[in-house]
Structure 1
Amino acid sequence: MKALLIDDHAIVRGGLRRLLAALSWEIAEAANGRDALMLVRSEQPDLVVLDLNLPGIGGFELLRRILVELPAVRIMVLSMHIEARFASRAMQAGARGYMSKNAAPAELLKALKVVAEGGRYIEAEIAQELALQTAAMPDPSTLLNERDREIVRLLGAGRSLTEIAETLGIGYKTVANTCTQIKTKLGVSRTADLIRLSFDLDGG
């Protein structure tokens, strides 16, 4: 098993190395996105442990680029962010797991093993918050028309409003106004809420 640790803090990478020492994995390290992409190409890792707050290329963009370079790689996001919306976005972008840096070492090790074996894992407390938020939201399929649903799907896929307008062949203002109307229909106030709802749509 080859693992690549991507974090701009050497102390975090050192801690992960010690945690993984018992597994006898081959481990490489990168402190920024540019170096990480070079190692992805040269080392072809099986598992990537990725921080979201990186200098240069941001974590979400780097996640996307890594999967373009190596679609089969399993990515575990290890972040300072404990909010469920970050986990939701990371999993939507293709990560296999999400853990906060506040997690207990035993749970982190368990999560890394699960993801390395092809499974999915979200830190227990974050997964609970995500489940509660999802349960509290209305079923979008009963409230939205087909255009609404398509816009929500595209938001969930990480498209900007400009990109959505180009994809659907409509004006930017039309997309923005429709997003506002969708939020009103669903009783939510943030675009992040629409992105979470995209999980519930067919094909989302």
Structure 2
Amino acid sequence: MLRDGGGNAVEATLSRLRRLDARPEHAHAPGAPLTISDLYRDHRMRMVRLAILLVDDPSTAEDVVQEAFAGLHRHWSGLRDEAAAVGYLRTAVVNGSRSVLRRRRTARDYVPPHQVNARSAESLALLSAEHQAVVDALSTLPPRQREVLVLRYYGGLSEAEIAEATGISRGTVKSTASRALDAVARVMGSRA
């Protein structure tokens, strides 16, 4: 963990967002069979917010989540239980976000360097200055570091769950998180 205020601001902002997502959106009737509609209703917005933090674009994030739910629908008969379905969705959102970022990187190679992809005025107005500073600092991180921080502090996942969702070892998760927090703190400190 960081010893300065930058890391604490990151943790606080992402934890605050996670608490918003911890509230159940709808209650599933106990004993009733779980349907894909139940999962969509209960987890869609949580997955969209996760994707937004990874890809930094609301419409792209919604596309990523829609693709994740389409994949879940295709594999519905092979799932063990609701926990497996949510894990499948989370992994699909992370992998879909990675694909989006790879495509962006490729597209950037063909875009003149003077063109900048700026965030919309609406999305900027929705975040407080502190939240915006954290999101801006997150956007400077390499994709793996961003994924690990978002899954840890926004998603509230353990190191083991992050390792499973991203396909990296627990040790790599731990060291990546440490380096990412240091980098975010440096970026936020340089802007202060």
Question: Normalization by structure 2: what TM-score?
Answer: 0.31
Structure number with the bigger relative contact order (C-alpha 8 A, sep ≥ 6) is 2
More strand per residue: 1
Larger Rg: 1
More helix per residue: 2
Question: Normalization by structure 1: what TM-score?
Answer: 0.29
